[in-house]
Amino acid sequence: MERTAAAFSLPRIRFIRKRVTFLLSTFSVLLLVFAWWLVVRLHLVSPLFVPAPGAVWNAFISTAGEPYRGHTLLVHVGISLYRVIVAFIAALVVSIPLGLAIGRYWWLDALMQPLINFYRPLPPLAYYTLLVIWLGIGDASKVALLFLAAIPALVINTAAGVHAVRREMVNAALSLGADKWQVFLHVIFPATLPYVFTGIRIALAFTYTTLVAAELVAATSGIGWMVLDASRFLRSDIIFMGIIIMGVTGMVLDYIVVLLQHRFVPWLGKA
């Protein structure tokens, strides 16, 4: 009994589970690629519909090396990321103070509530058409679109974070001599950070999806546009490659946010 208990102590189980998780995840990816390869190999579908993994890899190598319709792959991805990041930072700068204020002042909540509730469920592409008319087909309309797409999740989560602050946290600060502004800065704002990060993850994923969709509708560059353009020439190898790049980029963006969350909210789930 003693030995079993020692061999399966909690940190040990966690360690083993991490290893197994990694192996299983790798396995599922490899299995998918293998199934894909097999389908093509056995000529189950036309390579026009599903290109071979090797063809997709070649498309990656060639577009990485030489420009595809003006830009290399890296530049197309970079253009897309640039649009997301500029718009997202602008959205953060506006949404977090707005969310904090909405969480704090009921009348501001009442004023903003109908506006946010109305435009939040709208598919961004619906008002994108308007933005293109107003701002043209270039970066301005896209950045504006992404900015608008990011705002609701950020504002709503930040405001929810303010509502969730424990009353005693505020009371403790007041009875230690903090004034209203200090309470806001040193207690309420840090206490909302876990919610803010939840909002950031949701909003970033949504913004990224919206970007690709917008590039599919109207653009002359970017990873989404690349896929759209390839479809006109039935280049399914480039379409596949583009989709994989989009997925991986989205995962990397999310992972960066998770890392930032560990850095800025180390107490999550512990206090």
Partner 1 sequence: MTSNPLSRKSETASTSGVTPAKRLVIDDVSFSYETRDGLVEALAKIALTIEPGEFICCVGPSGCGKTTLLHLIAGFLTPTTGTMTLGATPVRQPGPDRGVVFQQPTLYPWMTVADNVAFGPRMRHLPKEEQRRRVDHYLQLVGLQAFAQRAPYELSGGMQQRVAIARVLANDPTFLLMDEPFGALDALTRERLQEELLKIWRATRSAVFFITHSAEEAVFLATRVIVMSARPGRILLDRKVGFSRRVGMKPREIRADQEFIAVREEIIERIYSSEETP
What residue ranges bind partner 1 (CB under 8 A)? 166-169, 171-179, 182, 186-187, 190-191, 193, 266-267, 270-271
Contacts 24+ apart (CB under 8 A), 180-186: 184/100, 184/104
38/268 with CB nearer partner 1: 268
- The count of C-alpha atoms lying within 13 angstroms of the C-alpha of 234, restricted to the half-sphere facing its C-beta, is 5
Least Å distance, CB 14 to partner 1, is 18
CA distances from residue 154 to 39, 77, 160, 253, 258 in whole angstroms, order as listed: 43, 25, 10, 16, 16
187/226 with CB nearer partner 1: 187
Least Å distance, CB 263 to partner 1, is 12
42/176 with CB nearer partner 1: 176
187/204 with CB nearer partner 1: 187
CA dist 63 and 151 (Å) reads 34
Residues 6+ apart with CB under 8 A from 250: 205, 208, 209
34/264 with CB nearer partner 1: 264
Least Å distance, CB 180 to partner 1, is 10
**Widest Cα–Cα separation across the chain:** 76
Least Å distance, CB 264 to partner 1, is 9
Burial of 24 (0-12, 13-18, 19+ CB in 10 A): exposed
Least Å distance, CB 261 to partner 1, is 13
Least Å distance, CB 167 to partner 1, is 8
187/212 with CB nearer partner 1: 187
* Residue 145 dihedral angles phi and psi, to the nearest 5°: -60, -50
Burial of 1 (0-12, 13-18, 19+ CB in 10 A): exposed
